[in-house]
Amino acid sequence: MSLEWEQVMVDSADPEALGRWWAQALGWVVVNDAPDEFEIRPAPDRLPGLLFTTVPERKTIKNRLHLDFRPDDHEAEVARLLALGARHADVGQGEQSWVTLADPEGNEFCVLGSPRS
């Protein structure tokens, strides 16, 4: 038996808007642009992807699962994501080497330090 990781589901008030934000943030492509089920992937035939689906309730507490990213240039990437509409998020992490941000709907993610050489 084997499993293939297909996608991560992201609950959203506006799947298309949030999916387009993440596509721009990650440089990924849209593979399904239905208003209530919007999917992006690194490339059309590459997995895993992110699938944004409609839910009626708004996010109210810290995510139980979040994504971590390690950019080449930490400061530049944090600035770019903030310019796209991310915001700083405090989930009780204290002073750390990474930055916790939230997407336009409040889903937290971390931008780790630049890769170690």
Task: Count CB neighbours of 28 within 10 A.
Answer: 19
- 17 & 49 share domain: yes
Nearest to 51 by CA among 3, 25, 103, 12: 12
Last residue within a domain, chosen from 34, 55, 76: 55
Its pTM stands at 0.88
| Residue-wise pLDDT tens digits, 27-85 | 999 999 988 899 999 999 999 999 999 998 887 777 788 899 999 999 999 999 999 99
In a domain, 60, yes or no: no
Judged on CB neighbours under 10 Å (0-12, 13-18, 19+), 53 is middle
100 Cα distance to chain centroid? 12
- 50 & 69 share domain: no
Residues 6+ apart with CB under 8 A from 5: 47, 48
- 51 & 74 share domain: no
In a domain, 116, yes or no: yes
Q: Which domain holds residue 13?
A: 1-55
